[in-house]
């Protein structure tokens, strides 16, 4: 059986946005708030530093029965027995990553247009993050926001879960999910929040309320 995407809120780390707090502390607060999927994305760390941080987050995610996804690094993912890997445009091809990880690990892919989504699906991705939906400083490298209309289009053509990413905040979660997204992916909304646990609970409540009404 292929791995199951059993979460609706996908937390992506950025230790530069914690306000000086240790990243594991912020992640644990988010886990206490109900987050059940965390992507470790700290591209500036060397291999040893990334491994040690991944190992710490692996212990936390196991404690809270949550999934740990490692950005790009299959070696680190396998070393800590993570639940999968998240790939970008310059990552290893999906089919090679699948051959390395096996059939039971999750593979997520960052997508920014329809072709990206179709290709990711055809090559064996389990889910994609799509965006940036709204303006966010961290995603300016990917160009202008793709917007809600394009989100709705890719949801219609995709057979795998689509997580809306980029500028996602509590006030726009309902309109994002109303376009058919399976969930939302966030960075600063939780990582930079004064109270990550409370923010995670709020986002999950909004997601549950919207999904119940669909």
41 is catalytic: yes
43 is catalytic: no
Report which of 186, 140, 207, 198 is spatially closest to residue 39, judged by C-alpha positions.
186
Catalytic residue among 8, 110, 158, 182: 110
Q: What are phi and psi of 173, to 5 degrees?
A: -60, -45
CA 158 to the chain's CA centroid: 17
Catalytic residue among 58, 98, 105, 139: 139
C-alpha span between 163 and 189 (Å, rounded): 15
Cβ atoms of 30 and 57 within 8 Å: the answer is: no
C-alpha span between 209 and 146 (Å, rounded): 25
Catalytic residue among 21, 41, 169, 201: 41
62 is catalytic: no
Active site amino acids = 41, 110, 139
């Amino acid at each position: 059986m292929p791995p199951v995407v059993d979460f609706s809120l996908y937390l992506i780390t950025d230790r530069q946005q914690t306000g000086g707090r240790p990243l594991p502390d912020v992640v644990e607060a988010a886990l206490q708030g109900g987050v059940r999927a965390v992507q470790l994305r700290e591209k500036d760390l060397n291999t040893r530093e990334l491994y040690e941080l991944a190992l710490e987050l692996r212990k936390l995610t196991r404690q809270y029965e949550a999934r740990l996804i490692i950005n790009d690094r299959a070696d680190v993912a396998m070393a800590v027995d993570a639940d999968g890997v998240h790939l970008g445009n310059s990552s290893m091809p999906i089919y090679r990553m699948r051959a390395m990880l096996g059939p039971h690990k999750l593979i997520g892919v960052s997508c920014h247009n329809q072709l990206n989504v179709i290709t990711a699906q055809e090559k064996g991705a389990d889910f994609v993050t799509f965006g940036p939906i709204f303006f966010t400083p961290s995603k300016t490298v990917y160009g202008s926001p793709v917007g809600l209309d394009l989100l709705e289009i890719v949801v219609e053509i995709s057979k795998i879960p689509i997580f809306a990413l980029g500028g996602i905040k509590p006030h726009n979660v309902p309109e994002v999910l109303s376009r058919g997204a399976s969930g939302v992916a966030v960075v600063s909304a939780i990582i930079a929040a004064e109270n990550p646990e409370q923010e995670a609970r709020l986002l999950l409540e909004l997601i549950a309320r919207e999904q119940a009404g669909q």
